Amino acid sequence: MDVLELYRRTGALLEGHFLLRSGMHSPLFLQSAALLQHPLYAEAVGEALGKLFEDEKVDLVIAPAIGGVVLSFVVAKALGARALFAEKDGKGGMLIRKGLTVNPGDRFLAVEDVVTTGESVRKAIQAAEARGGVLVGVGAIVDRSGGRASFGVPFRALVSLEVPQYAPEACPLCREGVPLEEV
């Protein structure tokens, strides 16, 4: 599967000057919600990501809300597992809503659409581990960390991209006067 072609086909691969959640600037942004709004594409991505972890016993798949809710569902479906999400707790972390169950010893896969620093998925991991879950892997549609993201378990992505990221004070796009879009 050509994941980047799916991003292009759905208008989810954007070029310009973007302020990422990490605070960094980038000339490329992947708007995964535009891709995952298409059920057939979402299911294909979920199946492909699930295949990367088919040798693991997975009880549940968790992702950071809100962007990871669909991804968690389609990967869980592919693996025959439960789908959960973690949401912001208002204190800088994440929590798992009451009614969503993580049993002590449950083996879980954490997924994220695009990993740049890995901070969002780490917070979802911490929420599941706080309930006794055992992390077995981290999956992403796109790894744009440049190979720097590490979680202490296997980290696998459908595609890895080397995309420049700039601190605001060192951003050549800012110096050129390219308008900055917050995403």
Binding residues: 21, 88, 91, 112-120, 144
Question: How far is the C-alpha of 46 from the C-alpha of 11, rounded, in Å?
Answer: 19
What are the backbone angles phi and psi of residue 14, rounded to the nearest 5°? -110, 140
- Residue 132: burial class (beta carbons within 10 Å; 0-12, 13-18, 19+): exposed
Q: Give every CB contact of residue 44 below 8 A, 6+ residues apart in sequence.
A: 1, 6
**Known binding-site positions for 5-phospho-alpha-D-ribose 1-diphosphate:** 21, 88, 91, 112-120
Query: Strands 107-115 and 60-64: what pairing?
Result: parallel
Nearest CA-CA partner of 49 in 152, 168, 155, 183: 155
**Known binding-site positions for orotate:** 116, 144
Q: Give every CB contact of residue 14 below 8 A, 6+ residues apart in sequence.
A: 28, 29, 30, 31, 183
